[in-house]
Structure 1
Amino acid sequence: MDLKIFKNWRILLMVFCLILAIIAINPIGHTGVVIKSIDQDSPFYGKVLPGEKINWANEKTISKISDFDEFQNFTGVFRFMHNDKLDLVNIETPGLGIRFVEKTGSNIQLGMDLVGGTRVLLEPTENVTDEIIQQTKIALETRINTYGLAEVIIQPIKDINGKQYIQIEMAGGSRQEIEDLLSKQGKFEGRIPMVVAFESGSGVLKIGGNEYSVIYHNTTIELNNQYLSYNETFKLNNIDFKLENFTSKGAVFISTVFRGDDITSVCMQNNPGICTSTLTQQSTGWQFMFQIFLTEKSAEKFAAITQNMKSLVDPNSGESYLESRIYLYLDNNEITNLGIAADLAGKALTQPVITGGSKLKEDALNEKLKLQSILKSGALPVGVKIIRADDISPSLGKEFADSTIKTSIIALLAVAIVIFLRYKKFKILIPMMIWSVAELILTLGVASSIHWTLDMASIAGLIAAIGTGTNDQIMIIDEIMLGQKEKIYTLKQKVKKSFGIIFSAAATIIAAMLPLFFVGIGVMKGFAITTTIGILIGVFITRTAFATVMEYVLEKELNKPDKPIENKTVVPK
C-alpha cells in the first residue's frame, strides 16, 4: 500500500484533530464521585466545593456513591482526596452532610434527559427588560454558589412572541430543591480585617480616635481587659469583631462594618439626579460603577475602622488603596472582595460608589450584576413563579440513553448495508464507516471542550449532522465514479463540483439553525448547536480528507483502459 496518502496535509489535519478530540473526551474516564451539595452544618463545609471529585477516603478507593455508606456513622479524623489533593477533617458527630452524584466515565457532560433530574420554567410576575432578566439569572447563580449546589444550568429564554422566561435544569435534583433555591435569601456581611503587629509581646488596636492595648499570652490575647481565644467574637466601639488568628508576632481581627439591613438601597438602573449605575467603555476595557445607600450607623463603623489604616500604591494601576480590603460574605461564604480607595479612609459615606471593570463588556456586566446581587443579600430583582416542571427519574434517563445507543447502532448497520448494496465494494464502505465514527468523535470532542451538555435534542442534532455527512460522502463518491461514463471532467474537477454542492447545502442547513439559537427553549438551542458543530467539522475537516482518500482508492480503477473488443471470425461449418 502506498503510504504517501498519509502525508497529505488534509489527512494529517484530521488525525491531529482526532487526537485532540480523544484527549478532550478522555474516554478512559475518572474514578470517584462528584460533590453535588454540602450542608452548612457539615464538617466538610468550607473544606470542599460543589463540583469537586472525591476518589479516596480513609484508605479506601471511592468509585461509586455507595462506597460512602460505611462512613455515615464515622467519627474522628477523616482523610480524603478531593481533586487529587489530600485533606483532613475532624468529624465529631455522625453524618457527613454531603450529597454526591456519580462521575461519568469521561468528560462528556450528560443532560438531565439521560441522567435524570428536574427542569422548571420560571415566568416573571411582571413585565421585565433584558437587563432585569440578566440580573435575576446572576442572583440565582450567586445563590447556587453560596448554598453549595452543582450541576445546575440557568438560562434566559424567549418564546416566539418575545416573552421572557428563565429555565433551570438540575441534573439529579428535584423540584423541591429548586423551590428551596428560589425561596432562599442570604445573610450578607461586609468585613474588613485589621492587623496588629506585636513588639515585645504587645501592640495597639486603633479604632477611630480610640486605642486599645493588645497583649500576647501563649494561648490567648488580652484586649480591653478580656482574654480572647481563636475565633472568639467580641464588641468594641459598638462594632462586632472576631479574633481570626494570632502568633507571637501579631494578631488579625475581623471587623463587621455592615450587614444586609445596613444597605438601604442598591442602584440597579442609572437615574440621573437620583442614583448612578453605569457601564462605560474606556481605553483599557469596560468600567462599571454603581451607587449604594448605607445607614448612618454603618457609615460611621466604616469610618472608624479605616481611619488609621495605611495606604498602598497598586503597581499595576498606580492607584492608592488602603492596606486592607473589604470582603463580602453571604451566609458566611466569601463571595468576593474589593479594594478600598485611599481617599475613603475615615470618611462616613452613606452613598459610596462601587467601581470595577474588565477588558470584555460581558465580563464587566456580569461582575457588576453579581456585586449588586450580593449587596442585596441575594434577593431576586423580580418575583418569579414556576409555570412548568418536568421530572425525569435516573432509571428513565438510563433507559433513554440505552435506547439511543441501540438505535444508533442499528441505524449505522442499516446504512452500511444500503451502501454496500449500492457500490458492492468494501474499499468504499469501510472508509465511509470510519469517517462517520471520526465525525462523531470530533463533535463529541468539541462538546467536551466547551463543556456543552448533551441531552436528547443534542444527540438528535449529532445524528442529523452525521447523516448529512453520509449524504455528502455519497455525493463525493458518485461524482468521482462518474468518470467511468463521462470523460469530460478530470478527477479534481469532479471533486470540486461535489464540494460546491456540499458547501451550499451546509450553508442552507446552518442558516436554518440560526433562528433556534435565539428563539425557543434551550432544548432547541442544543439541537441547533450540535448540528452546526457537526456540519462545520464535516465541511472543513473530514469531507476534504475523505475526498482525498476516495481519489486515491478509486483513481486506479477509473484509469483502467477500456477492455478491447476481440475481433472474432465466425467460420461456417
Structure 2
Amino acid sequence: MSTLRDNWRVIFLVVAILVSTFALFSPTVGSQSPIGEDNSSQPAVGEDNSMINLKYGLQLDGGTRIRAPLVGITAEEVEFNNESQRVVEQQVAAQLDGADAADVIARFGAQSNTVEVTIENVSDDELRTALDAAGYAHGNVRDGVTETTRTETVRVLQSKINEAGLSGGTVQQVTTATGEHFILVEVPNRDRQDVLDLVGERGTVQIDIYYPTTQNGSRVYETREAVLTQSDFTSIGTAQEPQTGGDGGFVPVSVREESAPAFQQAVVETGVAQPGGSRCTYMEDGGKNSTDPCLLLVVNGEVVNAFGMQPSLADGMRSGEWAKAPGFRLSTRNISEAQEIAINLRAGALPAKLDLSGSDGGTSSYISPSQGERFKIDSLLTGIIAVLAVAGVVFLRYGKPQVALPMIVTGLSEVYILLGFAAAIGYPLDLSVIAGFIAVIGTGVDDLIIIADEVMAEGSVKSRKVFQSRFRRAFWVIGAAAATTIIAMSPLAVLSLGDLQGFAIFTILGVIVGVLVTRPAYGDILRLLLTEDR
C-alpha cells in the first residue's frame, strides 16, 4: 500500500496514457458525430477509414478555406423617432437605389441605435443622405457591420454547412491585429466552387404574388412582394422528387399559424385562389403574358419557379379552412433547387453577404487531398526528427540511460496525452497544432533537464530526503516558467487569430499536462532509479 502511495504520480501518468489510448482507438469515440451533421454519405473529418480517432483539419486533409469580410456599412447613434425597426428599415431602403427592406438592418443597441446597409456599392455619403432624407438624425458612418450581424452570420453559415451534410466544416469570426473583422469558413474534402456556391449567396427565400390588375382601362401585372418570408415557414420537410418521376422536386412546408391568415387573404384578393384554381404560365412566357395569377418562388432575389393553385387548395383558401392546417409544397424545377431551398429555409438568410471579391483582404484557397497527405507525412517526419534530436542531445549531456531514457519516454508521453485529448474532443489537427506539439516536446524536455541537473548538481544522490529537497527547488523553477508561458499564450488562445489559436491552445495544454502529470512522474522515476532508500 505504501508503494502505491509513494508512487501515485507514476500511476497517474499511466492512467492518463490509458485514457488517451482509449480516446485514440476506441470506436465509441470515433463514431460520434457533431450534433446536427449528417455523416451518412461522407466519413467524418479525420476518420479516413483508419483505426485512429484523430481528426485532421484543412491543411492535413485537403479542402477549401474562405476568409472574407462582410459587405456593409453602419451608421451609429441613429435616432429612430419612436418608430419600429421595420419602419426604419423600410424608410431608409426607400431612399437608396436598388435596395429593399431586407438590405437594411435597424437595431436597438445598449449604447446606441444602428442602421446597417448590407448591399454592395453603397457609399458612406449615400447612407448619410438616405438617413437625412428619411428624417433620422445620426452620428458616425463607418465601413463594416456590427458585432451582432457578424455573430448571426457565423451561426447561419454553420447551419447551412451542417444542413448540406458537409462534415467537419467550421465557421468562425477572426480579427486581425489592426482590428479588421473576417469570417473564416473551412470545409474539408470539398472543392472551392462547391463551397462558394453554398456560402456566396445570402440564402433568402420568399413567396411573391404576380397577378393582373386594371389601370386606366388596361390590363397590367403587378407583384406583391414577400407575402411569405423565411420567418413565416415552419416544419421544413426534406427535399423530395415527385413520385411520378421526372426532373422536378419539392419541399413540404408548413406556415406559422400567425402568418397563415394574411397569406390566405392575399391569395384570395389577388385571384390565385380563384374558383377552379389557377394555371400559371409565368416561366413559359417570361412573366409578360400570364393569363392567371401566379405564386413566385424567389431565391436570392431571382424567380426560380412559378406555380398556380390546384382547385382543392384554392377552395380551402377561399373557405378559410386552409389556415387551420396551413401547409403546402414549394415546387421546383429540379431536385438540386429543392435541396438548396430546404437548406436556406432551415439555416435562415444571411444578414449580410461575404465580400468574395478580394478587394478588402478576402481570400479563398483550395488544398487538394494529395497535398494534405504530403503535409501529414512531412509533419510526421518533422516530429520524428525533433524526437531524435532531443534524444541525441540528452544522451550526450548525461551519458546515463537511467536518466536519459525516462526523460525521453516521459516527454513523448506528454505528446501522446495531448493527442488523446484532441481525439476525445474532436479537435482537428492542422499544422499550427503540430507546431504546438513540437514546442511541447522542446519545453517539456527543457523542464526535465532542469529537474535532472538540480537533482544531480552535487553528484550522486543516495538519500530520498535530499532528492525530495532538490526536486522541490527544481519544480518551483518549472512552475514559474509554466505560469509565464500560460500568461504569454493566453491572448492567442482567446482571441480569434486563426491558426495561432490552435498553436496557443495546445502549447498551454502541454504546459498544464507537464506540470500536473509528467514532471512529477519523472521525479518519482528518478527517485526510484537513483536513491537507495526508495
Which of 368, 372, 377 lines up with 1:393 in the alignment? 368
1:410 is displaced (CA, Å) by 2.1
Determine the structure 2 residue equivalent to 1:24. Answer: 23
SS in 2 for 1:385: coil
- C-alpha distance 6-410 of structure 1, shift in aligned 2 (>3 A): farther
Deviations 1:171-210 (A, max 9, x none): 12222112111245265573579xxxxxxxxxxxxxxxxx
Determine the structure 2 residue equivalent to 1:110. Answer: 56
Determine the structure 2 residue equivalent to 1:384. Answer: 354
In 1: Cα distance, 2:505 partner to 2:461 partner = 40
Q: Is this contact kept in 1: 2:46–2:54, CA < 8 A?
A: no
Length-normalised TM-score, structure 1 = 0.54
In 2: Cα distance, 1:192 partner to 1:407 partner = 51
Q: Is this contact kept in 2: 1:120–1:168, CA < 8 A?
A: yes
Deviations 1:519-548 (A, max 9, x none): 453100011011111111111111111111
Deviations 1:407-440 (A, max 9, x none): 2212212221221122111111221121122111
Determine the structure 2 residue equivalent to 1:213. Answer: none
Letter in 1 for 2:177: I
Q: Does 1:190 align with 2:233?
A: yes
Deviations 1:495-517 (A, max 9, x none): 11111111111111111111212
Determine the structure 1 residue equivalent to 2:97. Answer: none
Letter in 2 for 1:190: F
Q: Does 1:526 align with 2:502?
A: yes
Number of residues of Structure 1 aligned to a counterpart in Structure 2? 361
Choose between structure 1 and 2: higher helix proportion: 2
Determine the structure 1 residue equivalent to 2:181. Answer: 164
Letter in 1 for 2:348: G
1:390 is displaced (CA, Å) by 2.2
Superposed counterparts of 1:487-526, under 5 Å: 490-519=466-495, 521-526=497-502
Determine the structure 1 residue equivalent to 2:254. Answer: 256
In 2: Cα distance, 1:53 partner to 1:479 partner = 57
In 1: Cα distance, 2:19 partner to 2:47 partner = 27
Which of 66, 71, 77 lines up with 1:125 in the alignment? 71
Superposed counterparts of 1:431-450, under 5 Å: 431-450=406-425
Deviations 1:78-133 (A, max 9, x none): xxxxx9xxxxxxxxxxxxxxx99843442111111112112110111221222111
- C-alpha distance 53-550 of structure 1, shift in aligned 2 (>3 A): farther
Determine the structure 1 residue equivalent to 2:12. Answer: 13
Determine the structure 1 residue equivalent to 2:108. Answer: none
- C-alpha distance 155-262 of structure 1, shift in aligned 2 (>3 A): farther
Q: Is this contact kept in 2: 1:35–1:54, CA < 8 A?
A: no
Choose between structure 1 and 2: higher strand proportion: 1
Q: Does 1:423 align with 2:398?
A: yes
State the identity %: 29
Determine the structure 2 residue equivalent to 1:482. Answer: 457
Determine the structure 1 residue equivalent to 2:172. Answer: 155
In 1: Cα distance, 2:339 partner to 2:500 partner = 39
Q: Is this contact kept in 1: 2:29–2:424, CA < 8 A?
A: no
Letter in 2 for 1:501: V
Determine the structure 1 residue equivalent to 2:438. Answer: 463
Letter in 2 for 1:256: S
Q: Is this contact kept in 1: 2:63–2:367, CA < 8 A?
A: yes
Determine the structure 2 residue equivalent to 1:405. Answer: 380
In 2: Cα distance, 1:536 partner to 1:232 partner = 59
Which of 39, 43, 50 lines up with 1:51 in the alignment? 39
In 1: Cα distance, 2:5 partner to 2:378 partner = 37
Q: Is this contact kept in 2: 1:135–1:381, CA < 8 A?
A: yes
Letter in 2 for 1:385: D
Q: Is this contact kept in 1: 2:411–2:518, CA < 8 A?
A: no
SS in 1 for 2:457: helix
Superposed counterparts of 1:131-150, under 5 Å: 131-150=148-167
| Higher relative contact order (Cα pairs below 8 Å, separated by 6+ residues) | 2
Gaps of 5+ in 2: 73-143, 206-229, 237-241, 245-249, 263-313, 331-336, 357-361
1:263 is displaced (CA, Å) by 12
In 1: Cα distance, 2:8 partner to 2:341 partner = 51
Letter in 2 for 1:50: D
Determine the structure 2 residue equivalent to 1:199. Answer: none
In 2: Cα distance, 1:102 partner to 1:485 partner = 51
What is the CA RMSD across the aligned residues, in angstroms? 4.7
Deviations 1:304-325 (A, max 9, x none): 5686x9xxxxxxxxxxxxxx99
In 1: Cα distance, 2:322 partner to 2:2 partner = 76
Deviations 1:117-161 (A, max 9, x none): 121101112212221111001111121122222221111011112
- C-alpha distance 174-35 of structure 1, shift in aligned 2 (>3 A): farther
In 1: Cα distance, 2:467 partner to 2:30 partner = 51
Q: Is this contact kept in 1: 2:23–2:29, CA < 8 A?
A: no
1:383 is displaced (CA, Å) by 2.2
Q: Is this contact kept in 2: 1:30–1:104, CA < 8 A?
A: no
Gaps of 5+ in 1: 37-47, 56-82, 84-98, 194-230, 234-241, 245-253, 265-296, 310-323, 336-369, 561-573
SS in 2 for 1:256: strand
Deviations 1:253-274 (A, max 9, x none): x883359x9899xxxxxxxxxx
- C-alpha distance 474-540 of structure 1, shift in aligned 2 (>3 A): same
- C-alpha distance 440-406 of structure 1, shift in aligned 2 (>3 A): same
Q: Is this contact kept in 2: 1:154–1:168, CA < 8 A?
A: yes
Superposed counterparts of 1:60-75, under 5 Å: none
1:374 is displaced (CA, Å) by 5.1
In 1: Cα distance, 2:434 partner to 2:364 partner = 22
- C-alpha distance 554-306 of structure 1, shift in aligned 2 (>3 A): farther
Letter in 1 for 2:476: G
